[in-house]
């Protein structure tokens, strides 16, 4: 089973500044079909998780283009180009095959 490790676990960011979250897997996430099922989720305080990114770099509908995902193999990154107040919350990476496992979460707060 792939163990997902995120860093940092706490991320204070100044409004308008960029933010970056790393996610590393204990094994390659390239699936047998050639795709990489790595997703990113945002969980705002008191809300359900919301998926932002799927298959490494595909933004879900309605997700601002300030959010971008990249990476390959075992190393992945979620970047926010300019942090807004609405971005406060916990961000999780997740690998989806053969069964989903999540990272520990990264708490983004405004400095």
Partner 1 sequence: QVQLQESGPGLLKPSETLSLTCTVSGASISAFYWGWVRQPPGRGLEWIGYIYYTGRTNYNPSLKSRVTMSLDTSKNQFSLKLNSVTAADTAVYYCARDGVPSIDDYYYGLDVWGQGTTVTVSS
Under the criterion CB under 8 A, does residue 41 sit at the interface with partner 1?
yes
CA–CA gap between residue 54 and residue 12 (Å, rounded): 25
Q: Which CA distances in Å does 58 have to 3, 65, 75, 96? A: 22, 10, 16, 14
Under the criterion CB under 8 A, does residue 104 sit at the interface with partner 1?
yes
Site for partner 1 in 45-64 (CB under 8 A): 48-51, 54-55, 58, 60
Q: 88 burial class (0-12, 13-18, 19+ CB within 10 angstroms)?
A: middle
Site for partner 1 in 15-34 (CB under 8 A): 31-33
- Among the listed ranges 21-29, 64-72, 76-84, 99-107, the one in contact with partner 1 (CB under 8 A) is 99-107
- Among the listed ranges 12-20, 21-29, 73-81, 100-108, the one in contact with partner 1 (CB under 8 A) is 100-108
């Amino acid at each position: 089973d792939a163990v997902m490790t995120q860093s940092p676990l706490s991320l204070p960011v100044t409004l308008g500044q960029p933010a970056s979250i790393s996610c590393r897997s204990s094994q390659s996430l390239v699936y047998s079909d050639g795709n990489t099922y790595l997703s990113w989720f945002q969980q705002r305080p008191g809300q359900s998780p919301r998926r932002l990114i799927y298959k490494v770099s595909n933004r879900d509908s309605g997700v601002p283009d300030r959010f971008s995902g990249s990476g390959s193999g075992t190393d992945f990154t979620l970047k926010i180009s300019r942090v807004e107040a609405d971005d406060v919350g916990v961000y999780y990476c997740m690998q989806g095959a053969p069964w989903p496992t999540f990272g520990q979460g990264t708490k983004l707060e405004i400095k």
